[in-house]
A and B are shown apart, each in its own frame.
Chain A
C-alpha cells in the first residue's frame, strides 16, 4: 500500500483544519457565540448542519487516497513491489468493494438480469439471444423466485445492524451532551437515519445493485457517493481561492480610496462584464490544451483529472470574486467613516493595524455569509459545467457527469431512470441542506435581516 496525496486532498484537509481553527478563534468572541447559538438553537439548524457534516466527512474519507500493492508476479525480482494504477480511498474500503463489482452494461435496481439482450450459447453450442445473468447482482440466489423474500431478509438484517450502530453512536453523544441546551435530539434523529441508510446500503449492495448500474456497468449508488467528494470540494475550494483576492482588494479599495479604488473597481467591472460561463469555458479549454500538450507532468490518470479539477476550482474562484469584492468594498467604505476608525487614526495607529483590528473583523460576517451562500450554487454549477463539457474530467465521478451520461437514457424503452435518480437524490439533499443552513446563518449574522426578522 502506498499513500498518494493529490493536490486537492492536501488542500481540503488544510481547509478543514483552518476552518476549525477559525471558528475556535471566533468562538471566543461573545457576540459571535450568541449568533452561532441562534443558528444552532433551531432544530432546522441542527439537522441541516448534521447533514452537511456527514457530507464533509464522506468527502474527507474519500480524500485519503492510496495505491494498492499488486500481488508479486512469479519470476519478478523479489523485494520489488508494483502498485495498482487505480487509486483507492479509505471510503472505498468502507463501502466494501462496492465499486469493484462491475457488470457489462445497464441493469435495473435489484435486478438479476442485464437490461440488454445479448448473444449467448447454450450447453450444446446453439446460439440464442436473451438477457444474461448479472455477474454480481443476486448471484447467491438458487431461483429467481426467492428474490423478494431474500431482499426483505437482507434489508431487515441491514437495518438491524444500522440501528445497532446508530444506537452506539447516538448513545455515546447522549452521555456527553444530554445537558446541552441545544436541540441535539433533532441532530441525533438525523444521524440515526443516515447511519441506518448507510449500513443498509453497504450490506445489501454486497448482493444486489441497489440503484442499478450505468452504461459502463458501474454501480450507480457507488458513483453517487463518490460524487460527494467532488461536489463538496468544488463548493469549498472555489470560494477559498476567491476569498483572499476578494477580501484584500475589497478592503484596500474601500480603505485607501483614490486610485486604488479606481483600479479595483475597473478590475471587477471588466471581469464581471464578461459572461461568466464563457469566461469559465474559455479558461478551462485553455487549461485543457496545456494538459494535452504536457502529458508527462501527471503520472496517474487521476492526477490529470485532479489537475483539471483544481484548475476548475481556481477558474470558478477567479471569475466569481467580483460580487464579494463589491460588498466588502462598500462595507469598508462605511466602516472607515465610523468614529472608532477615525479615533484610531487620530491616535496614530498604523494602517495595517487599523485594517487588522478594526476593519477585517467587522467585514467577517459578509465573508461567512458569502461562503455559505455560494456553496450550494457552486455545487449546482458543477453539474451544468460538466454538461457543457468544461467541468469535471469524465474519469472522475461527479453528479454532473452522471447526469450528462444518463440524460439520453430517458428516451430508451423501457426507461432507464435510475442513473439520474442517484445523482438527483444526493445532490438535492446536499444543496437543500446547504440552502437552509445558509438562510439561518444569514439571518443570524446579517444585521439588516436580523432587524427585519424581529419586525415581522
Chain B
C-alpha cells in the first residue's frame, strides 16, 4: 500500500508540472507583463517609466525563461518562470500584487472555510443518503414519482436563488440569525447555521437523485433477489445489502472533494461574508490579483490529486477485495 501511494505521488509530478506550465502560459505568455501592468494601472496616462516601476515592484521585470545577464545558475533562476512558477512547488506562494503574504493569508483563512465546509459536507451527504433511502423504500409508488419530480425541480433552481431566498426568509423575515458575518468566538454557530442550511438544502435535489439511482442500480442485482428469496426484510436488505454495496460509487463521488474543502465555497462565503479562502479567491478574481489566482490554481490541483489518492485508499476500506499494489 505504501509503495502504491509513493508511486501515485510520483505520477502526480508530471501533472503538477503541466498545471504549472499551463498557468504560466495563461498568465505570462498570453498577455505580457507589460499588458498586465497597463491593465492594472489603468490604460490612460501610463508612461513606460510607471510600467517599469510597477513591474519592478512586483518582480515582473525579469525575462520570461532565460536571463542572459545573470551568470551561472542565475540564468535560469532569475527569470519570471522560476520566481513566479517553479517556487510554487515548494508551496512558496510569494506576495500578492498588493503586497500581502499569500501563505500567511491561506493559513489564516483556512479555518473559517473549514468551519463552513465540513459541516456542510457531512450533513449534506447524510441528509441526501437518508432522503434517497426513504425514496427507494417507496420505489414504484406515487411517492417515488413525486419525489423524483421534486428533485428535478430543486435541481433546476440556481444556487444563487437558494442563497438569496435563504437570507431573505430566515434572516430578514423571520430574523432568526444575522444575514451575514462571522466571528471566531462562541457565537460562531449563529453565523454558521444559515450557510450550512442553504448549502444542504440546495444540494438535496441533485444529491438525493444521484444516490437514488445508485441504490436502484444495486437493488436490481441478483444478490438482492436472493436476499429477498431467503426471507430478509426490506429494511434489512436496504441497510445490510444495498447500502454497503453502493459504498464504492458513493466514495468515488465524495472522497475526491474532501481535500478541496479547504478551499471553501466561492459563492457561499462571499454572500455570507465569511473570511475564508473562497471569498479570498473571489476578491482576488474581482481585483484581478493574478498572484493569488495563480497560487490558488496550484493549491487546488494539489488538493485534487490528494483527493484522487484518498479515493483509491478508501476503496480498500469499503471493499476488502480491492488491493492496491
Which residues of A come within 8 Å of B, CB atoms? Answer: 266, 269-275, 277-279, 281-283, 285-286, 288-290, 292-293, 376, 380, 383-384, 387-390, 399, 403, 407, 410-411, 415, 420, 424, 427-428, 431-432, 435-436, 439, 452, 455-456
Q: Are B152 and A279 in contact (CB under 8 A)?
A: no
Given A290-B31, A420-B164, are A456 and B304 neighbors across the interface (CB < 8 Å)? no
Q: In this complex, what residue of A is CB-closest to B21?
A: A270
Residue numbers in B under 8 Å from A435 (CB-CB): 152, 155-156
Residue numbers in B under 8 Å from A411 (CB-CB): 172, 179
- A139–B172 Cα distance when bound, in Å, is 35
- In the complex, which of the residues B179, B220, B301 has the most CB atoms of chain A within 10 Å of its own CB atom? B301
B157 at the interface (CB under 8 A from A): yes
Q: Are B31 and A432 in contact (CB under 8 A)?
A: no
Q: Choose among A387, A390, A431 the residue that contacts B267 (Cβ–Cβ < 8 A).
A: A387
- A414–B14 Cα distance when bound, in Å, is 57
Given A432-B153, A435-B152, are A403 and B26 neighbors across the interface (CB < 8 Å)? no
Residue numbers in B under 8 Å from A424 (CB-CB): 157-158, 161
Enumerate B165-194 residues with CB–CB distance to A below 8 Å: 167-168, 172, 179
Q: Is the interface of B mostly helix, strand, loop or mixed?
A: helix
Enumerate B17-52 residues with CB–CB distance to A below 8 Å: 18-19, 22-23, 26-27, 30-31, 35-36, 38-39, 43
Residue numbers in B under 8 Å from A415 (CB-CB): 168
Binds A, one of B82-90, B231-239, B281-289, B311-319: B281-289
Residue numbers in A under 8 Å from B297 (CB-CB): 274-275, 278-279, 282
Known: A282-B293, A286-B31, A456-B220. 19 other contacts (CB 8 A): A270-B15, A273-B19, A274-B300, A278-B281, A282-B26, A282-B290, A289-B35, A293-B43, A388-B266, A388-B286, A390-B285, A403-B160, A407-B164, A411-B179, A415-B168, A420-B164, A432-B156, A436-B152, A452-B220
Min CB distance A447 to B, Å, is 14
Residue numbers in B under 8 Å from A432 (CB-CB): 152-153, 156
Q: Could you show 16 A-B contacts with beta carbons less than 8 Å apart?
A: A269-B15, A270-B15, A273-B305, A274-B300, A275-B296, A285-B285, A289-B31, A290-B35, A383-B160, A388-B285, A399-B158, A403-B160, A403-B164, A420-B161, A431-B157, A432-B156
What size tier do the contact residues of chain B reach?
35 or more
B260 at the interface (CB under 8 A from A): yes
Q: Are A380 and B31 in contact (CB under 8 A)?
A: no
Q: In this complex, what residue of B is CB-closest to A284?
A: B285
Residue numbers in A under 8 Å from B30 (CB-CB): 286, 290
B217 at the interface (CB under 8 A from A): yes
B139 at the interface (CB under 8 A from A): yes
Q: Are B304 and A275 in contact (CB under 8 A)?
A: yes
Q: Are B15 and A266 in contact (CB under 8 A)?
A: yes
Residue numbers in B under 8 Å from A403 (CB-CB): 158, 160-161, 164
Min CB distance B145 to A, Å, is 11
- A275–B262 Cα distance when bound, in Å, is 13
